[in-house]
Amino acid sequence: MNYQEAYAKLEKSGQTHVLKYFEELSEAEKQDLLSQIELTDFTVLEACKHKEENNRGEFAPLKCMELDEIKAGAAAFEAKGLEAIRAGKVGAVLLAGGMGTRLGSDDPKGMYNIGLTKEVYIFQRIIENLLDVVNKADAWIHLFVMTSDKNHDKTTKFLKEHAYFGYKEEYVHFFKQSMAPAADYNGNVYMESKHTISSSPNGNGGWYISMVDSGMTDVVKANGIEWLNCFAVDNVLQRIADPVFVGACIDRDAAVGAKVVRKNAPDEKVGVMCLEDGKPSIVEYYELTQEMMDAKDEKGNPAYNFGVILNYLLRVTDLDKIVSQKLPLHVVEKKIPYMDETGVFHKPEEPNGYKFESLILDMIHMMPSCLPFEVERNYEFAPIKNKTGIDSVESARALCKENGIEL
Ligand code: UTP
């Protein structure tokens, strides 16, 4: 793309300030900036204008497979799950493209060391958990790791240097997600430097299309993988490719299974599994009306009682059916490092603008059926979002200790 073409593209979305310092740049920097302009989708900025729109449908409860039912069927589910794993039909997808801004480390979140007396990295905890299943099934499971432009090199280098924490290298596959521009509250793209557009990973919703674009789905197809267990990097107790969960989803012929935890309180800040216009969906805690919080199921328990923990098992044939559908774009307030009009760089302490993300929960709503599958919170859910307080390094360490994990 040349200067004129870049200018014309930027003009369409009112972003010509991106070229403000063009004449000052070196030849290499000029080329770099032009290529960023070519690759950036500025149309996402339109979403700032529709930020407040709420197009949600009609919510209804969705029955969950609860612990007692799982316990009763566990042996049969596990046998079915192990059979699928041994046949190579299950793959795992680690979503590790996020910026982990709340944790405040410059490194990828998975590189965070939660150990106290020795090194225990988040990536290590996750891989150790997956290795439990590999050892039980006596079969390797393909692990796909999604990174972004911002953390790819550090992630791949770190895992290689640590010999994948005992995982077999041929079974680890990396792919990058796409980026989206970041903007101020008026929808003007921020610049990180005179030749760098401020951009961030475009959310965890684009993982499957990124797998397709990067050729990862060829690996999926070539290996006969029929189910993908997609999970977040930050839960250090995350059970991955859990044979009981896999078996239950196959048994119930669900297009997607979602691991869920019983809520601590009716107004707890978690997204809750439900139906929306008859299709699986996740209602955000702030969307729950009093009436929904008071609603009861046939056992007299709260009808909207199970929160998602970002651990989904998705059937590949169903993913292929929805891959061309556009996911809604979420406008999220974040802290965005930027260069001001005088050329000075800032790293803000408070949110100062918007990032644009698509979310995996919107993908769940595109699926024809879903099995919410209850797990015991204290055994399987120790998310690290913050340094201290709720969902933090501190709370996750306490939960690791409770589960006998040495730190
Ligand atoms: P979060 O919503 O916690 O976002 O991601 P984050 O970027 O990691 O952290 P904050 O909000 O900046 O503090 C949930 C999961 O989705 C992944 C994350 O890596 C994490 O596993 N994710 C998020 C992506 O893979 N890509 C993204 O663009 C965003």
| DSSP state letters, 344-380 | -EE--SS--EEEEE--HHHHHTTSS-EEEEE--HHHH
**Spacing, Cα 102 to ligand 1 middle (Å):** 10
Report CA Rg, the chain.
22
CB atoms inside a 10 Å sphere around CB 184: 15
Q: Amino acid identity, residue 401?
A: K
Reading the block at residue 215, the tokens are: 């050729």
**Spacing, Cα 301 to ligand 1 middle (Å):** 32
* Whole-number pLDDT of residue 44: 87
Reading the block at residue 192, the tokens are: 């990180």
Tens-digit pLDDT profile for residues 21-60? 999 999 999 999 998 898 888 988 888 777 666 678 999 9
Q: Which residues line ligand 1 (CB under 6 A)?
A: 95-102, 109, 146, 177, 201-204, 232-234, 310, 357, 385
Hey, CA dihedral for 54, 285, 101, 131, is it positive or negative? Answer: negative
pLDDT tens string, the chain, 407 residues long: the values are 899 999 999 999 999 999 999 999 999 999 999 988 988 889 888 887 776 666 789 999 999 999 999 999 999 999 999 999 999 999 999 999 998 888 988 899 999 999 999 999 999 999 999 999 999 999 999 999 999 988 999 999 999 999 999 999 999 999 999 889 999 999 999 999 999 999 989 999 999 999 999 999 999 999 999 999 999 999 999 999 999 999 999 999 999 999 999 999 888 889 999 999 999 999 998 889 999 999 999 989 999 999 999 999 999 999 999 999 989 888 989 889 999 988 899 999 899 999 999 999 999 999 999 999 999 999 999 999 998 999 999 999 999 999 999 99
Closest atom, ligand 1, to C-alpha of 234: 21
Closest atom, ligand 1, to C-alpha of 386: 13
* SS3 of 186-223: CCCECEEECCEECEEECCHHHHHHHHHHCCHHHHHHHC
Cα 379 → chain centroid: 21
Closest atom, ligand 1, to C-alpha of 233: 21
Q: Distance (Å, rounded) from C-alpha 356 to C-alpha 237?
A: 29
Helix residue ranges, H only, 268-366: 290-294, 316-322, 360-364
User: Of all protein residues, whose CA lies closest to atom 15 belonging to ligand 1?
Assistant: 232
* Whole-number pLDDT of residue 31: 95
* Whole-number pLDDT of residue 267: 82
* Whole-number pLDDT of residue 55: 79
The best mutation among 145, 176, 234, 309 to test binding of ligand 1, ranked by most ligand atoms within 8 Å of the C-beta, falls on 234
Q: CA 216, 221, 226: angle at the middle one, nearest 5? A: 105
* Whole-number pLDDT of residue 52: 61
The DSSP letter of residue 83 is H
Q: Is 145 left (phi over 0), alpha (psi -120 to 50) or beta?
A: beta
**Spacing, Cα 267 to ligand 1 middle (Å):** 23
Q: Which residue is listed with tokens 């030849």?
A: 27
Is residue 68 classed exposed, middle or buried when 0-12, 13-18 and 19+ CB atoms within 10 A define those classes?
exposed
CB atoms inside a 10 Å sphere around CB 81: 28
* Whole-number pLDDT of residue 20: 94
